[in-house]
Amino acid sequence: MISEAVGYLKGSDDAVTTVILGAVMTLFAFLIVPLFAAMGYMVRVLDRTARGDGEPPVFEDWGELIVDGAKATAIAFVYALIPTAVLVAFVVSGGLLGASGSDLLGTIGGIGIFVGFVVWLALTLAVAYAVPAALANFAETRRLGAGFDWATMRRALADRAYATGWLTAFVIVVAGGVVGGLLNAVPVIGFIASAFVGFYTAVAAYYVIGHTWGELRHTPVTERPVVDGQPGI
């Protein structure tokens, strides 16, 4: 699966253009709109691979691409808020206890903050595990609510096939991160090159998730549903 994922983009006639545009979107992700465009592309990768379509998508229909990316980003952001909110609650509570002037309450507050970091780490890992499934479910219908459809997602998250696919995608992302980190040691040029690597490995990782989701959902190779010529919201 890893070799297939890495070779996914190579099979496209527009591979060079796609990787260049993807790297540019990655480099300028801080401007938000490029981030949405890059995320929209990943949504298309999830959609196509889940349906068994082996042809990589291209950067086109920019309006729809950006809207889909914005929705996908919103889904990921909401999930990311969960561990952050829990950590803030523990830290604030522990800080208030520490500021009480009582040694006992200060100790309890310190323990509470430590527990908060442990819970935050556990929730962060859980979110990292769940978000790819949420995005895959969203890509299937383009409905924002699908990203939070636990009735559908719960079965996939508990499946060994999803765990294997997620771990494979994780390995690809980590490998890409290592290569990107090494490239960053070279000023300017290395930073730019790492954007190419980051986009390419992200596509490979989403390829794995998409294929895994398609196998779990048994989605046939058909066009996703549209309403009046537009994707459902």
For 126-169, the pLDDT digits (tens) are 999 999 999 999 998 889 888 898 888 888 898 899 999 999 99
- The larger pLDDT score, comparing residue 35 to residue 8, is at 35
What local confidence, expressed as pLDDT, does residue 123 receive? 94
At 227, the pLDDT band (50, 70, 90 cuts) reads: very low
In the chain, the percentage of residues whose pLDDT exceeds 90 is 47
What local confidence, expressed as pLDDT, does residue 112 receive? 83
Residues 37, 69 contacting (CB under 8 angstroms): yes
Over residues 87-96, the mean pLDDT reads: 85
At 218, the pLDDT band (50, 70, 90 cuts) reads: low
What local confidence, expressed as pLDDT, does residue 118 receive? 92
pLDDT at 226 over 80: no
Give the model confidence (pLDDT) of 170-194 as tens digits: 999 999 989 988 888 888 888 889 8
